[in-house]
Structure 1
Amino acid sequence: MTNSTWQTLSTLAQSVPDLTTLFKSDPTRGTAFTAHACDIYIDYSKQLVDSRILDKLIALANECDLSGKINNLLTGQKVNDTENRPALHTALRSPKGETLIVGGVDVNAQVHASLQKCEAITQRIRQKVWRGYSGKAISDVVNIGVGGSDLGPVMATFALDEWADTDIRVHFVSNMDGTQLDTLLKTLNPQTTLFIISSKSFGTSDTLANAKTALAWLQSAHTNLDAILRHHFIGISTRPDKMTDWGIHADNQLLLWEWVGGRFSMWSAIGLAIAIKIGMHNFYELLAGANQMDRHFATAEFGKNLPVLLGLIGVWNATFLGINAHSVLPYDGRLKFFPNYLTQLEMESNGKSVKRDGQKVGYATCPILWGDIGSNAQHAFYQLLHQGTQRVSCDFITPICRYDSGQIHDKYLENQHKLSLANCLAQSQVLAFGNDALPDELKNNNDKFSQFKQYRGNQPSTTLLLTALSPKTLGSLIALYEHKVFVMSVIWGINPFDQWGVEVGKVMADSVFGVLNGGASEFDGSTNALLTVIGVKKCTIKSTS
């Protein structure tokens, strides 16, 4: 991109002051560079931006017609141009009664018909009406999926575990090697276990391999295949024909739409496992929180628009400042799987090097993203953040309020929460200001090892404060990051809704799998040699018990 605003930002990036200087030059910075909506408060004052840079980033967004692109996204235009379809995940959380006509079809009506069927199934399972082949009520539900059919539901069910009001256990299986499933099946009763096969295409090899193994496990306990399929399997897919061919009963099929991207699908029937765990009321709260963020995204001015601000700052860091790593650090154990979820959302969406017009990009796009619970990460990779040679931007996420159930030990838990808050705020200080943030007694000016105790600072970060973690605020938080990803894609001129890089490895795996099963094919020298080694090795399994 060669427009003047882009060039101005490139020039500003060469001389941006460090964070210590930025704070000294503006006493109001800690409150001026903030925004809040949907019970989320963001402080981006520790990012390497000033008012000039922010104004230019917003100008760049306007030049890229971000407002028009947001409208196209929300109204069902074909924003996924390489696959010639909309990306209507926001429609999955629109309130009942609204109308959205796309291609002559009321999408909202379809969505709520699907949610109604999800609700009916959820109630049958939770109320012990759904029975297995022997007549016993279901005690365990196993969601078999991978990617977007796994990461979102896993993250949300773990985060919202305290809202679970059922004794039904919900499990997740994704790995194609069978480790998760093998370990899990040893603990389950086939008479009371229900499997959800979640696959948009109903052709994903990882998922179908696990599903076939689950079916074989059930058949080893009961000989009536029809009863097993009728009482122990639910299918979620865009392909009812494939679900039927596999054996899923029509009453047990939940439909998706092609315009739902896998990594944006947890709001749909893919979220069935979440609803079973926390109840449909709380699942609707999750949707309501996301919808609230959608409305904020659509209407708030860019300077106070949370997804726009996070997206523009993300572009500033990755493209203009050359910061190619980003870490997400929730200081709340319930958000343990949130960084994993975001790795797919961001890197599968924006890990692109070709623009919508088919031309190669001439600048850095999506950074490498990873993270962990902040308190654990402090004892793992914060050493690199504070004293390594890599520039890394960070998002710190924490709820303000927690532990008020009235239990006798709550005061101790509340103190632990305050300790977590203290660490969250302290770590962002040291990342930003290095040794300047430390009290005099910790600067070790006269310590013979002082050269090893220098903290360079100037590592940019944003702090996100949730009023409290709940189904609704979690929905808003997830939608915030979804829209952040879209904003970044608009500035970069790339399509965040396809994933051709995911597909290519699967295609290659099929040909290699054929060789492992006795077929013939030639690959590169390394792969050929590895296949030779695998072919001559005899596998012997010895019990260690």
Structure 2
Amino acid sequence: MSPKETTAWVDLQSHAYYMSQSHISTLFDESPNRFAQFGFTQDNLLLDLSKQRITDETLRLLIDLAKERGLSTWIEALFNGEHINDSEDRPALHTALRTPKGVKLEVDGVEIIEEVHQNLESMEAIVTKIHSGQWRGFTGHSINTVVNIGVGGSDLGPLMACKALAEHAPESARNLNVHFVSSMDGSQLADLLSHLNPARTLFVISSKSFTTIDTLANANTAKEWLKQASDDASEAILVSRHFIGVSASPDKALKWGIPKANQLAFWDWTGGRYSMWSTIGLPIALKLGMKGFREILAGAHAMDTHFRETPLEQNLPVLIAMVGIWNINFLNINAHAILPYDGRLSHLPAYLEQLEMESNGKSVTRKGEATTYNTCPILWGEVGTNAQHAFYQLLHQGTESVMCDFIVAAKRYHDTDNSELKHQHQLNLANCLAQSRILALGDTVIKDAESAPVYKRYKGNQPCTTLLLDELTPHTFGQIIAMYEHKVFVQSVIWDINPFDQWGVELGKKVATTLLDALTPDASIEAFDASTQGLLQHISIRNK
């Protein structure tokens, strides 16, 4: 049954007709205790939904919709390893990657949790060897630089985590530099290699299939760089001392040259955008140590437990997902800004862009029918204070309705005597709270605002969510990312789409492969459209 045929959907449409005429500022006037009504907590997180255009009735109907769509049953199917990725006939078990040791979960005849922890132990052995200086390059010098070569999920998650949590690095990792390379054009790698010592650099090739063109192109360039730096070392020695492969395709990694001893494995049920919890997280463990990495896993598992066991009415991932459904499908808001007020979370918007748009950017249901309703909105974002001087003009006075997520830590610099740093954090908090307040309430918060000229007026009524964490730690970081993962899953259930495949991405890869031959001299280009033919001819002329 289509979600539009449920009783709750029909009721929400009627409810939305009246709510669309409401202003958030009026809702606050009518209910001064909105924060108590729409503030929800889980451990060290506070989710404030009071600046959304909702009432108790809205939430009740949204929870009714979740129940009619069988959300609780779907949650159990996710955690139990059922094949909910139906187009690829496999489970989606990223939650198993952060499940504590000793828990039993058998999937397709395999004890999954036991294998997960065996992989973690293999990763820990590598981390210990590098941190202790025992991993040595072709000249016998210890490794002091790691370059992660990946793309998409094999890059965005580890890059984000390393940036966000760098201050939590242990002493053993302080002198280890970790870099990330993902661009296919080689510009990132070429610039990086010009500054590195080949004898002390280790490359981590992260690729689920070990066939990703972008990743292997960079890996081959790195291998050639090492060859040129070492006249007498064989390729086998160079690869064994300077490359680690992280893949679900060990045979392909071996064929490329990476010995079994240098390989870390994960599973085909680990989606790329859900993979940083697996051995894809090796750069995170190298940056934070295994203790820090395990704290991230523990934070994510705490959110998993909350998601699985908490009633829908108090469940953070469910609430943030259903409010998103309300905005998208009933208030017709199809733009979503991610606004972290913390420079450490500068890569979070890009990470969530992939997580949400690659997962739920679908227009076909699980039954193969075209959807008759909107699904994933367009996501974008930036660190809040930078964004204030960029696209906030559109948020405040533009013609687009935009839902906004504000993310900020209550505590920072509390363990320092630097009063200026403490003051900076207060400035940051003040800006975060002020912006969400004005976006939601408009210039009703300003005395005598109605007397200002029209071009200085702020209409407000942009729905805002605030996620306030006590402080940014590996544990709270894990909670946040897991919360957004589960939000995506909840919305996929409501929309009846599969969030774990990405056939649109696969098509792009295939078409790119067919164009490689067309870029060689004297290649036939007649099979392509007129635009592509013209571009190929222009490229050919410019390269003669």
TM-score range, shorter chain: over 0.9
Secondary structure of the structure 1 residue equivalent to 2:5: coil
What letter is aligned with 1:321? L
Q: Which residue number corresponds to residue 206 of structure 1?
A: 214
Q: 1:15: which partner in 2?
A: 18
Q: Are residue 475 (structure 1) and residue 478 (structure 2) matched?
A: yes
Counterpart of 1:501 (choices 485, 499, 504) is 504
What is aligned with 2:487?
484
Equivalent residue number for residue 331 of structure 1: 341
Q: Does 1:178 align with 2:181?
A: no
The secondary structure found in structure 2 opposite 1:354 is coil
Aligned AA for 1:498?
Answer: D
Distance 2:106 2:450 in 1: 66
Residue 57, structure 1, aligned to residue 101, structure 2: no
**Match among 415, 423, 441 for residue 423 of structure 2:** 415
Letter in 1 for 2:158: P
C-alpha distance in 2 between matches for 1:528 and 1:316: 45
**Alpha-carbon contact 1:435-1:454 (below 8 Å) kept:** yes
* Alignment-derived partner of residue 226 in structure 2: 218
Q: Distance in 2 between matches of 1:418 and 1:365?
A: 37
The aligned counterpart of 1:319 is 329
**Quick one: which amino acid aligns to residue 273 of structure 2?**
R
- Output aligned runs, 1:288-299, within 5 Å: 288-299=298-309
CA contact (8 A) 1:349 1:498 kept: yes
Q: How many residue pairs align between the two structures?
A: 532
Determine if contact 1:38/1:476 at 8 Å carries over to the other structure.
Answer: no
Residues 395 and 402 in structure 2, CA contact (< 8 A), matched pair in contact too = yes
Deviation at 1:508, TM superposition (A): 0.6
Structure 2 length-normalised TM: 0.97
Paired with 2:374 and 2:492, the residues of 1 have a C-alpha distance of 12
SS at structure 2 position matched to 1:200: coil
**Residue number in structure 2 paired with 1:542:** none
Please give the alpha-carbon distance, in whole angstroms, between the structure 2 residues aligned to 1:205 and 1:243.
Answer: 14
CA contact 1:430–1:438 (8 Å) conserved in 2: no
Asked whether the 8 Å contact 2:450–2:457 carries over to 1, the reply is no
Q: List alignment gaps of at least 5 residues for structure 1.
A: 540-545
Instruction: In structure 2, give the amino acid aligned to 1:532.
Output: Q
Find out whether 1:127 has 2:132 as its counterpart: yes
Q: Is the 8 A contact 2:6 2:65 kept in 1?
A: no
The 5 A counterparts of 1:95-244 are 95-165=100-170, 166=173, 167-223=175-231, 224-244=234-254
Amino acid at match of 1:313: V
**Residue of structure 2 in register with 1:252 after alignment:** 262
Question: Structure 1 residue 458: deviation in Å?
Answer: 0.4
Q: What's the CA shift string for 1:344-390, capped at 9, x where partnerless?
A: 00000000000001110000100000111001100000000000000
Instruction: Please state whether the residue corresponding to 2:478 is helix, strand or coil.
Output: helix
* Residue identity opposite 1:125 in structure 2: I
User: 1:467: how far off?
Assistant: 0.6
* Equivalent-residue separation in structure 1 for 2:485 and 2:471 (angstroms): 20
Contact residue 266 and residue 278 of structure 2 kept, 8 A: yes
Tell me the secondary structure at the aligned position of residue 279 of structure 1: helix
CA contact (8 A) 1:354 1:360 kept: yes
Secondary structure of 2:229's aligned partner = coil
1:444 Cα offset (Å): 7.0
Per-residue deviation, residues 122-180 of structure 1 (Å, max 9, x unmatched): 01001111000110000100000000000000000000010123211000000000010
Deviations 1:298-323 (A, max 9, x none): 01111110000011011111111110
- Shift of residue 232, structure 1, vs aligned partner: 0.2
Q: Please report how far the alpha carbon of residue 439 of structure 1 lies from its aligned counterpart in structure 2 after TM superposition.
A: 3.2
SS at match of 1:263: helix
Out of 369, 377, 381, the residue aligned to residue 367 of structure 1 is 377
Give the deviation of 1:404 after TM superposition. Answer: 2.4
**Structure 1 counterpart of 2:446:** 438
> Separation in 1 of the partners of 2:543 and 2:185?
18
What residue in structure 1 maps to residue 454 of structure 2? 451
SS of equivalent residue, structure 1 residue 150: helix
Partner of 1:512: 515
Hey, what's the Cα distance between the residues in 2 that align with 1:209 and 1:500? 22
Tell me the residue number matched to 1:41.
46
What percentage of aligned pairs have identical amino acids? 53
How far apart, CA to CA, are the structure 2 residues paired with 1:389 and 1:206?
38
Provide the C-alpha distance between the structure 2 equivalents of 1:486 and 1:260, rounded to a whole number of angstroms.
15
**Aligned 8 A contact 1:38 1:289 in 2:** no
- Give the superposition deviation at 1:52: 1.0
Cα RMSD for the two superposed structures: 1.0
Partner of 1:300: 310
Q: What's the CA shift for 1:520?
A: 2.3
Q: Which moved more, 1:242-251 or 1:314-323?
A: 314-323
- Report how far residue 463 of structure 1 moved: 0.4
Query: 1:70 and 1:76 mapped to 2: Cα distance?
Result: 10
Query: Which secondary structure does the structure 2 equivalent of 1:439 belong to?
Result: coil
Structure 2 residue ranges without an equivalent (≥5) = none
Q: Deviations over 1:234-284 (max 9, x none)?
A: 001111110000000110001110110000000000000000011000100
Q: Which amino acid aligns with 2:134?
A: V
Whether the aligned pair in 2 keeps the contact of 1:19 and 1:433 (CA below 8 Å) is: yes
Post-superposition offset of 1:3? 2.1
Of 389, 397, 401, the match for 1:379? 389
When the two structures are superposed, what TM-score results if normalisation uses the length of structure 1? 0.96
Alignment-mate amino acid for residue 520 of structure 1: S
